[in-house]
Structure 1
């Protein structure tokens, strides 16, 4: 293998050719800028420019002083959900309880819908009115409404509107698994921001933005995996940080809004130039109902609509009609309230059972999961629990860039007697492993 070239373009093409020929493989480290510049007899800036182009093209990834490596475009991390047919009791999937989801076919049957043809508005007017009322007061007052195919789809499209491969994005650490995959596929670099019991640590967010992060993705409540929610004070502190970086794209992923027990506190400053508040219906109405509401500034909305144009990528009006039917149904709204209460009861029960056995969980919790922080690698405990019939998800799924220590436990379908049995098995497993 020999890298050649006396210009940035030539070096770029040489390395890309070696990758395409299989001489450079995913994970293989490239020479340092200094060493390659010396061997080619060129200026370091020339090599640096070539490496930056490789990152932008998705050929390589950089970790700053840790070096530049060839990227595997096909490699993804873990995803939400569990494989069908698993014989273990599933506390790993992150799914809502199917018993609390509405019958979408029945909802649609009650709403006759004329065929939506090319040229129809991308957002159904009735859903737009409902969305405006939902978002009003929770973000800057001047906003536009768009509909995306779920929260993850919305985040991916929003990033594509403003960023280019190689840009840094500030994310929570630990982070939602789909956010990590979204950044990897887009060739973006995660800039991890540490969390405490109150959410993103403002000083670390400030540092990430000062070091060049072009965007931030944050979860205001029911953070996945920790369940953390921003209180009024922490939200104000983060809003202050973001106000000092008005050009950063701010994406607020309020994915659990329909079922949250914690209050929502706005983090988007009045001077933010690029921002979006995303609210999904997946947890309350079902993951297969691929729909999320996006409120954003005029410029971001215009750019987003280029990727949601009617005739190419708009969200099906059948799905929009289903959501309208659910949001306007007293019976389904009562069902959502019931699910909210049931999830809160199951979270509280599991936390209490673990506490009685001396097992600590995250202090603040909302959502479908309970987070159990650990001081050591969680994988031995995950394997030990699997041997005793429990499927759980360890910190390897959520760390940015390296695995974090902890176990996420999905409580949505966990009955009371199973919760007692799991708490006993977990305590016994930790004792066997001397944790």
Structure 2
């Protein structure tokens, strides 16, 4: 029980470490109220200033938040504590993970020509032919390709850029609902999230304008297959967002095109509108394999220098073995054909479930990508109700900042033949909830 955890320490550093340990162990859960400064100071025999300094450090690192008279509480997404998804119970159909269908992924074959010996790749971190292949991949979609770099996945790149560009306490505009790992990453870096509402066309311009006027230093968004809502930028929405962004040219725009080849819709990129500071990042895990932790990014010159400068000081480069593997797959005709098939299959499965839900009067959002977002009144009731029918879906709380409740259903592995059964079970669960809660 959280109330039985005794915070210890005689210095600000020790007190902060004690609270952090309690959060990491799960003993002090999200929303737990820490003791008032003076009470904890009396209990530990230290000055109130020592406790206040400890709480300030915990706030800076995103572990706790202060809510005025409600006191200091453990953050909803603390920067320590595991945020791994719940383990799928035995016997349930997993529609929560968001992973691609295994049969629609190519076989991974390591390159036959391996890197010779022990040597540094810092002088030439990117394989030249893969760099050119990336330019050929991005340019037709209107992404400027004058500066290109690689990273160990989108989260790796986003985390590196935000840590270089921003300082703890700075604000970042985030999609709401949005990708939970990015939300957690921003919190872990000690940054503040400012929610920006989304719809079927992605970020809403009015909400983005409010965030910019609140002083955000960066905007993180998805141009298509927005996770979990499924929206994508239309040409009109892209143009409207570019106009809003012109009001804050110093803001870094991070565009995460995570589904790219299998999103099922064209790309209308913000980067073609001429923002001063920008990066467009693409990964291949959704259509080449989840174990390929590689990302390509195009960006402005300043962003390139800052990203690569920090990369040089850490891992140095992305494995050339990994780069050669990605290149071989991107250049393979049969793999490209499989990717096209995957794109079409995901669109079919997404549309099939949307139609079945709609036929039963259930609203669902998801015009691109692999997920559907279904607004509900009580997330727990729906998740637990569907569990009794053999389905496992994701509660929306992991994806939300200030938006209303919902659940995310991953359709990548859901055959159209199963969509009708899931929709019927969903309707039954909603009917049970209405009977319980009075509508």
Structure 2 CA distance for partners of 1:329 and 1:20, relative to 1, 3 Å = closer
What SS is found at the alignment partner of 2:268? Answer: coil
Are the equivalent residues in 2 in contact too, given 1:256–1:280 (CA < 8 A)? yes
Looking at structure 2, the residues matched to 223 and 260 of structure 1 have their Cα atoms a distance apart, in angstroms, of 9
Structure 2 CA distance for partners of 1:78 and 1:63, relative to 1, 3 Å = farther
Structure 1 residues 336-347: aligned runs within 5 Å? 336-347=339-350
Q: Does structure 1 residue 367 correspond to structure 2 residue 369? A: yes
What SS is found at the alignment partner of 1:265? Answer: coil
Provide the residue aligned with 2:392 in structure 1: 391
Provide the residue aligned with 1:293 in structure 2: 296
Are the equivalent residues in 2 in contact too, given 1:396–1:404 (CA < 8 A)? no
What SS is found at the alignment partner of 1:308? Answer: helix
Provide the residue aligned with 2:15 in structure 1: 18
Q: Does structure 1 residue 147 correspond to structure 2 residue 150? A: yes
Looking at structure 1, the residues matched to 199 and 63 of structure 2 have their Cα atoms a distance apart, in angstroms, of 35
Are the equivalent residues in 1 in contact too, given 2:115–2:321 (CA < 8 A)? no
Structure 2 CA distance for partners of 1:23 and 1:132, relative to 1, 3 Å = closer
Provide the residue aligned with 2:408 in structure 1: 408
Provide the residue aligned with 1:75 in structure 2: 81
Note the C-alpha offset of 1:308. 2.3
Looking at structure 1, the residues matched to 383 and 18 of structure 2 have their Cα atoms a distance apart, in angstroms, of 40
Note the C-alpha offset of 1:58. 5.1
Structure 2 CA distance for partners of 1:255 and 1:198, relative to 1, 3 Å = same
Provide the residue aligned with 1:5 in structure 2: none
Structure 1 residues 89-238: aligned runs within 5 Å? 89-105=93-109, 108-109=110-111, 111-115=112-116, 117-119=119-121, 121-136=124-139, 138=141, 141=144, 143-238=146-241
Looking at structure 2, the residues matched to 311 and 409 of structure 1 have their Cα atoms a distance apart, in angstroms, of 37
Deviations 1:110-163 (A, max 9, x none): x43343731352111111001112222656646411111111212111211201
Structure 2 CA distance for partners of 1:104 and 1:21, relative to 1, 3 Å = closer
Looking at structure 1, the residues matched to 329 and 20 of structure 2 have their Cα atoms a distance apart, in angstroms, of 55
Structure 1 residues 267-286: aligned runs within 5 Å? 267-268=270-271, 272-286=275-289
Looking at structure 2, the residues matched to 381 and 273 of structure 1 have their Cα atoms a distance apart, in angstroms, of 44
Are the equivalent residues in 1 in contact too, given 2:279–2:299 (CA < 8 A)? yes
Aligned residue among 294, 302, 306 for 1:303: 306
Aligned residue among 234, 240, 250 for 2:243: 240
Are the equivalent residues in 2 in contact too, given 1:378–1:395 (CA < 8 A)? yes
Provide the residue aligned with 2:5 in structure 1: none
Deviations 1:144-198 (A, max 9, x none): 1111111121211121120111111100100111111111221111111112232
Are the equivalent residues in 2 in contact too, given 1:253–1:278 (CA < 8 A)? yes
What SS is found at the alignment partner of 2:286? Answer: helix
Deviations 1:332-385 (A, max 9, x none): 1001011111111111111111112221211x51111122122x1221011011
Note the C-alpha offset of 1:17. 4.5
Are the equivalent residues in 1 in contact too, given 2:16–2:54 (CA < 8 A)? no
Are the equivalent residues in 1 in contact too, given 2:196–2:207 (CA < 8 A)? yes
Deviations 1:278-298 (A, max 9, x none): 111010011111011111111
Looking at structure 2, the residues matched to 64 and 133 of structure 1 have their Cα atoms a distance apart, in angstroms, of 53
Are the equivalent residues in 2 in contact too, given 1:88–1:391 (CA < 8 A)? yes
Are the equivalent residues in 2 in contact too, given 1:30–1:69 (CA < 8 A)? no
Are the equivalent residues in 2 in contact too, given 1:78–1:177 (CA < 8 A)? no
Are the equivalent residues in 2 in contact too, given 1:173–1:192 (CA < 8 A)? yes
Looking at structure 2, the residues matched to 51 and 331 of structure 1 have their Cα atoms a distance apart, in angstroms, of 56
Looking at structure 1, the residues matched to 185 and 160 of structure 2 have their Cα atoms a distance apart, in angstroms, of 10
Looking at structure 1, the residues matched to 333 and 140 of structure 2 have their Cα atoms a distance apart, in angstroms, of 24
Are the equivalent residues in 2 in contact too, given 1:78–1:397 (CA < 8 A)? no
Note the C-alpha offset of 1:61. 3.6
Unpaired runs of at least 5, structure 2 = 1-9, 24-31, 42-46
Looking at structure 1, the residues matched to 89 and 56 of structure 2 have their Cα atoms a distance apart, in angstroms, of 45
Structure 2 CA distance for partners of 1:23 and 1:347, relative to 1, 3 Å = closer
Structure 2 CA distance for partners of 1:381 and 1:323, relative to 1, 3 Å = same
Provide the residue aligned with 2:423 in structure 1: 423
Deviations 1:208-248 (A, max 9, x none): 11112111101111000111111111111111111110111
Deviations 1:286-340 (A, max 9, x none): 1111011111111111111123228834211111111101111111100101111
Stretch deviating more after TM superposition (288-297 or 423-432): 423-432
Looking at structure 1, the residues matched to 330 and 357 of structure 2 have their Cα atoms a distance apart, in angstroms, of 36
Provide the residue aligned with 1:3 in structure 2: none
Note the C-alpha offset of 1:85. 7.1
